[in-house]
């Protein structure tokens, strides 16, 4: 899955550029709030290769030079903030997408309890996104996961499809019990809202939303 872009007809909106792991949730929240954002999502499996992640992100920024850009990533690269500083932009607040989804306190609690977090996108593309990183030796893979985690915590949002079969197969593959948690979008919505307001300001955001409401009423 490569970069995927959804742009306004004239390409004048602010661009949200970043990880595609929560793209269904992000699109839903943009539509719900009528935020004046276009989106361009990068492959979530880039996380396992820092060089490819940096290249894809920097290429995406250069490709959209001249546009207002907000980056949808956490601290997913050791040089993330330096890359964004050089590009004169910023990222959404949070260590990673799971923290943005759960909120910091819940994320840290589950992490300290031994969770390895799994979302739909990685469940459906496990071998591509995660599995290949640890090689083809199943015993080694199981040992790596069992040393660092106690259970597989599958996060299901209102936008998720059914990935129970894939999650159970992954649990068997890495030798960890599977748990499920239904997660709302409130924390993610606030993270995105803060980023939009920081970039556009409350006044401009309000004007954009008003104009969209007027156009919708006339149509």
pLDDT digits (tens, 9 = 90+) for 108-117: 999 999 999 9
Instruction: Indicate if 30 and 88 belong to the same structural domain.
Output: yes
Instruction: Indicate if 82 and 26 belong to the same structural domain.
Output: yes
Instruction: Indicate if 124 and 176 belong to the same structural domain.
Output: yes
Instruction: Indicate if 84 and 8 belong to the same structural domain.
Output: yes
pLDDT tens-place string over residues 170-187: 999 999 999 999 999 999
Does the pLDDT value for residue 134 go beyond 80?
no
Q: What is the dihedral of CA 45, 47, 48, 51, to 10 degrees?
A: 110
Instruction: Indicate if 87 and 107 belong to the same structural domain.
Output: no
Residue 3, both tokens: 């970069």
Domain coverage including residue 89: 4-93+186-218
pLDDT tens-place string over residues 145-165: 999 999 999 999 999 999 999
Does the pLDDT value for residue 1 go beyond 80?
no
Instruction: Give CB contacts under 8 A, 24+ apart, made by 64-69.
Output: 64/15, 64/17, 64/40, 67/11, 67/14, 67/15, 68/14, 68/15, 68/199, 68/200, 69/14, 69/15, 69/16, 69/17
Q: Confidence band (pLDDT; 50, 70, 90) for 208?
A: low
Question: Which residues partner with 41 through β-bridges?
Answer: 4, 18
Q: How many domains does the chain have?
A: 2
């Amino acid at each position: 899955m490569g970069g995927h872009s959804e742009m306004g007809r004239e390409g004048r909106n602010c661009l949200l550029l970043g990880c595609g792991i929560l793209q269904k949730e992000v699109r839903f929240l943009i539509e719900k709030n009528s935020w004046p954002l276009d989106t361009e999502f990068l492959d979530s499996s880039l996380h396992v290769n820092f060089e490819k992640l940096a290249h894809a992100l920097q290429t995406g920024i250069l490709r959209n030079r001249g546009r207002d850009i907000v980056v949808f990533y956490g601290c997913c690269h050791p040089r993330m903030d330096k890359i964004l500083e050089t590009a004169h932009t910023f990222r959404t607040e949070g260590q990673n997408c799971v923290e943005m989804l759960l909120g910091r306190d819940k994320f840290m609690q589950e992490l300290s309890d031994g969770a390895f977090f799994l979302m739909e996108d990685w469940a459906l593309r496990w071998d591509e996104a995660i599995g290949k990183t640890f090689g083809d030796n199943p015993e080694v893979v199981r040992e790596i996961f069992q040393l660092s985690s106690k259970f597989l915590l599958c996060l299901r949002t209102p936008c998720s499809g059914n990935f129970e079969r894939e999650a159970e197969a992954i649990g068997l593959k890495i030798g960890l019990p599977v748990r499920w948690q239904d997660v709302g979008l409130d924390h993610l919505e606030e993270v995105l809202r803060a980023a939009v307001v920081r970039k556009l300001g409350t006044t401009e955001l309000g004007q954009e939303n008003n104009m969209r409401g007027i156009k919708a009423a006339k149509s």
